[in-house]
Chain A
């Protein structure tokens, strides 16, 4: 009886066309995705249309698009957009720029290149949370090494609490910590791209009388443009979604000086348990990231 059932099943499987069979063997992954990915995404879309606070169960009610409208009247959120823009532009430009300089240096032959390359990898290998805690100590107003160095150099006369100096200083310090971690990634990708640019192109350029800058502009950049674009895309996505560093280093403070949008989403959803508003904010950030991705993909397509 059991055997015949198995045989029946086997025959049915054998009779399936390729398309249906592909769906069948992909089903575990699809089920997992639906359970762990699609369901929360759709469910949280529902949250975003409700006044839904975990700590005020009696006040839950449908509000339609009110959460989406109120975010544009929320000064902290609007401020966070400006800070996120500053943070993103600064980290992307600095990480990519310094990464490119490091890649150009590493593309040359010099003594100790291997050690330099290994040292460069360290920031990338450090987990983001550890990176945040490390920079917290570096900037510390009691024992921080930054204060010690500046004191030795005679640039300051007493230890400073940098984060309370001004919003601009606070944000700049966070950006520096992020750039330090991200430069190696950009450098390694760009180095790989540089090594793939044919030497013959440089030789031809030199024969045509091109100087170093012209070689860089007309040979190097076109040769690495695809990788450069990838680096820009990834750095932009990471900067827009930055959370770990802010959480460990400043918690968005002092005040809201370093509250970038992604951290504000976390704060609303998990500190204040305001799932409705938090979900609406998260959808807004997702929309911005999708727009950026589409823009970059379009440019990449053209570059190809």
Chain B
């Protein structure tokens, strides 16, 4: 073949490369000023059934077009970090929860929204939902649903164990007694085949959540406001000792060792082999789905049993925030407010079972009728609902999780495990200064 033929091939390829590079640049140069007709890009974590109707309604009402995509959480984390560090304006709204809000908010990547949200809306938002989008008193976004852990139990197993299914345990002592009664050897082989309590140790995140519950019930904290370790103080040691005691009593389902997600946990709970758990709101739908559950119509729920004189819980709410680098912040804010609006919140709650982020929606009779759990969640939400969040949280969790596991397996004492984790945590925090 001739040289000219080769050269024309080369020129053609170079032209194609230039085109590939140039097209996104040209396409992103949108300069519309009014919100209607503006296109915003939303990057979200998955949430089956949560967003599609909200997006459709938002676009219909505001004329703002939404370019919405979902990514698995680990990939989304590194994608967002890269976009933020590059100062990209390609994304206008990002999914977040407490840990990411702390991490990206304190890095200066998220737009503070405290003075842009009306006081009426702020007053109507539940603190347990706000923890997903706030860090050290700064509001960086608005929540999309409230998720806090509630106490769930199997009424049928309560009856079989001689417990009153209409009176769930209110204190930790009552909870332990119920766990002992529920742990049974049903087939008579000398070993338990039904357990009192389902915990979670399948990943460092789950280990730490298992520890956070008794920690908050004991008025403990993970860190103070100056990032000094607190989880190994007397309250922390007592909290972990409570958890370890459950294992010594033999009432914890061995399956807890493999629980690495909310889905793992609820799937195990509805198998009908374990009597009690602290779970998310989706437990209600799971437990009453005949396709998935062996305890349809048998789900009981209540407040998390108290260790001191009040209940407390772990939060897992989700929300949306606006990157500082977005060039369409006003349209993005309109999107956030729409998701947190009463109409959207009622729709999400009725459709998915995830709880609303506003007090006023909890008072809605229709919501109360459709979601009997909402009454308990509303009551639980009046108390502390916390979740460990800090820029260094993931690294600390990855070193604390195995120590929690070592304590519940009896390899280390609770104090030793927490002291070892605290020593590592101090080194980790120092790297973020």
User: Do A and B associate with each other?
Assistant: yes
Question: How would residues 205 to 224 of chain B score, 1 for a CB under 8 Å from any chain A CB and 0 otherwise?
Answer: 00000000000000000000
Query: Judging by beta carbons under 8 Å apart, are A55 and B433 in contact?
Result: no
Judge whether A146 is part of the interface by a CB distance below 8 angstroms: no
* A13-B3, A253-B204, A272-B395 known; A59-B433 Cβ under 8 A: yes
B203 contact set on A, CB distance < 8 A: 251, 253
A56-B432, A57-B107, A142-B255 as given contacts; A31 in contact with B17, CB under 8 Å:
yes
| Closest residue of B by beta carbon distance from A51 | B431
Question: A residues within 8 A CB of B85?
Answer: 54, 57
**Residue B89 lies at the interface, judged by CB distance under 8 Å to chain A:** no
Which A residues are in CB contact (< 8 Å) with B409? 164
Mark interface residues in A151-183 (1 if CB within 8 Å of B CB, else 0): 000000111010110000000000000000000
Cβ contacts under 8 Å, B17 to chain A: 28, 31-32
Chain A residues within 8 Å of chain B by Cβ, number: 38
Contacts known (A25-B10, A27-B10, A253-B203); A161 close to B78, Cβ less than 8 A:
no
- Identify which of residues 127-180 in chain B touch chain A, using a CB-to-CB cut-off of 8 Å: none
Closest residue of chain A to B402 (Cβ to Cβ) is A255
Q: Which of A28, A53, A57, A163 contacts B14 (CB 8 A)?
A: A28
Does A273 sit at the interface, judged by CB under 8 A? yes
Alpha-carbon separation in the docked complex, A270 to B107 (Å): 16
Chain A residues near B268: list those with CB within 8 A.
142
Q: Is B362 an interface residue (CB 8 A)?
A: no
Taking CB as reference atom, which chain B residue is nearest A53? B432
Q: Is the CB of A164 within 8 A of B405?
A: yes
Q: Does B347 contact A (CB under 8 A)?
A: no
Against B, the Cβ 8 Å flags (1 = close, 0 = not) of A29-72 are 00110000000000000000000011111110000000000000
Q: Are A164 and B201 in contact (CB under 8 A)?
A: yes
In the complex, how many angstroms separate the beta carbon of B173 from the nearest chain A beta carbon?
29
Q: Which chain A residues (203-248) contact chain B, with CB distance < 8 Å?
A: none
Query: Using Cβ atoms and an 8 Å threshold, which residues of chain B touch A54?
Result: 81-82, 84-85, 107
CB distance from B188 to the nearest CB of A (A): 14
Interface SS of B by simple majority: helix
Inter-subunit contact A273/B4 (CB<8 Å): no
Q: Residue B114 at the A interface, CB < 8 A?
A: no
B254 contacts A57, C-beta separation under 8 Å: no
Whether the Cβ atoms of B9 and A25 lie closer than 8 Å is yes
A293 at the B interface (CB under 8 A):
no
Q: B230 in the interface, Cβ–Cβ < 8 Å?
A: no
Closest approach, in angstroms, between the C-beta of B335 and any C-beta of chain A?
25
A24 close to B (CB within 8 Å) = yes
- In the complex formed, the residue of B with least CB distance to A21 is B3
Q: Of all chain B residues, which has the CB nearest A251?
A: B203
Check if A200 is an interface residue, CB within 8 A of chain B.
no
CA of A53 to CA of B254 in the docked complex: distance in angstroms? 39
Residues in B with CB closer than 8 Å to A31 are 14, 17
User: Given the interface contacts A53-B432, A254-B405, A270-B78, does A161 sit within 8 Å of B257 by beta carbon?
Assistant: yes
Query: Per a CB cutoff under 8 Å, which of B13, B254, B395, B432 touches A159?
Result: B254
Q: How far is the CA of A272 from the CA of B201 in the complex (A)?
A: 21
B1-48 CB contacts (< 8 Å) to partner A: 3-4, 6-7, 9-10, 13-14, 17
The answer, among A251, A254, A270, for a CB contact under 8 Å with B402, is A254
Nearest CB in chain A: distance from B262 CB, A: 15
With the chains together, A140 CA to B257 CA distance in Å? 10
Jot down 8 A-B pairs with beta carbons below 8 A, ordered by A. Answer: A25-B9, A28-B14, A56-B432, A58-B107, A158-B191, A251-B203, A254-B201, A270-B74
B contacts, CB < 8 Å to A: 3-4, 6-7, 9-10, 13-14, 17, 74, 77-78, 81-82, 84-85, 103-104, 107-109, 191, 201, 203-204, 254-255, 257-258, 268, 271, 391, 394-395, 398, 401-402, 405, 409, 431-433
> Lowest 7 CB-CB distances: which A-B pairs, in order?
A255-B402, A161-B257, A54-B81, A28-B13, A270-B78, A141-B258, A54-B85
Given contacts A32-B17, A142-B258, A254-B402, 19 further A-B contacts (CB under 8 A): A16-B3, A25-B10, A31-B17, A54-B81, A54-B82, A54-B107, A55-B81, A57-B107, A58-B108, A59-B432, A141-B254, A141-B258, A142-B271, A253-B203, A253-B402, A255-B405, A256-B402, A270-B77, A273-B81
